[in-house]
Amino acid sequence: MSITREKKQEVIGEYRQSESDTGSSEVQVAVLSHRIKALTEHLRTHQKDHSSRRGLLQLVSRRRRLLNYLHRTAPETYRSLIDSLSLRR
C-alpha cells in the first residue's frame, strides 16, 4: 500500500529544487501523488477496505490544498508540476 523508502527518495530527488530540499510544496505533492497511486491500486483489489479508502480521501484532500497553495503563489510551477505528474487530463 505505501511506497518504499527507496521510491520515496527517488521521487524527492526528482522534484527537489536544491540539495537539501525535502519538504517544498512540489516535493510534497509528488510524494502524495505516488502514495495516492499505490493506494488506488490497493483499493482496486480490496473494494471493502473502507479505512484505506478514508485515508485515500484524506491524501487527495491534502494534495488538493497544496496544489491550491501552489496555484496562488507560483502559477508557473503549478502548471509544470501538474504536467509532469499528469494530474489533469
Lookup result for grid cell 473494494: 47
67 contacts 29 by C-beta, under 8 angstroms: yes
Residue 3's pLDDT is 85
Count CB atoms within 10 A of the CB of residue 16. Answer: 16
Q: Which residue has the higher pLDDT, 3 or 33?
A: 33
Cell of residue 8, nine digits: 520515496
Of the pLDDT bands very low, low, confident and very high (cuts 50, 70, 90), residue 89 is low
For the chain, what are the domain ranges? Answer: 5-11+22-85
CATH number of 5-11+22-85: 1.10.287.10
Instruction: Centre a 10 Å sphere on the Cβ of residue 45 and count the other Cβ atoms it contains.
Output: 7
Using CB atoms within 10 A of its CB, is residue 7 exposed (0-12), middle (13-18) or buried (19+)?
middle
Quick one: what percent of the chain has pLDDT higher than 90?
Answer: 92
Spatial separation of the C-alpha atoms in residues 39 and 41, rounded to whole Å: 5
